[in-house]
Amino acid sequence: MIFFKAFLVGGLICVVAQLLMDLTSYKITPAHILVGFVTAGALLSAFGFYQPLVNWAGAGATVPLSGFGHLIAQGAVQGVQEKGLLGVFSGGITTTATGITAAIVFGYFASIFFRAKG
């Protein structure tokens, strides 16, 4: 069942992005979409709307980049709870550290080992 929910929510979030891309001007590039989804995810999370989605759909809500934003927001809040003002600065990165490091390390090695096919 969780797989079905993940599929549904993950797919629907991407449908929203596809609509944004196809129905708006060419000025919306993939970079804008990614930035928009991270920011939107963080804001939704701050208002408490994103966690219920994660609880219901699991990876369906965490795999899209809005989940990344949710993680940053969650981290910031946790950081404040644990360390106060300093946590504001460290929290967001703490929760996302694994993803960011993985992306940088694997990205680095992939760029070195492979050659663009064109």
By CB under 8 A, what part of segment 49-78 binds other proteins?
A: 57-60, 62-69, 72-73, 75-77
Alpha carbon 31 to its chain's center: 13
Q: Which residues contact 70 (CB under 8 A, 6 or more apart)?
A: 41, 42, 44, 45, 50, 51, 54, 61, 62
Residues 27-46 that bind other proteins (CB under 8 A): 27, 29-31, 33-35, 37-39, 42-43, 45-46
Task: Verify binding: residue 24, other proteins, rule CB under 8 A.
Answer: no
Residue that has been written with the tokens 């080992």 in this structure: 113
d(CA 73, CA 95): 9
In whole angstroms, the minimum distance from the beta carbon of 6 to other proteins comes to 4
Q: How far is the CB of 85 from other proteins (least distance, A)?
A: 6
Q: According to the binding rule CB under 8 A, does residue 11 interact with other proteins? A: yes
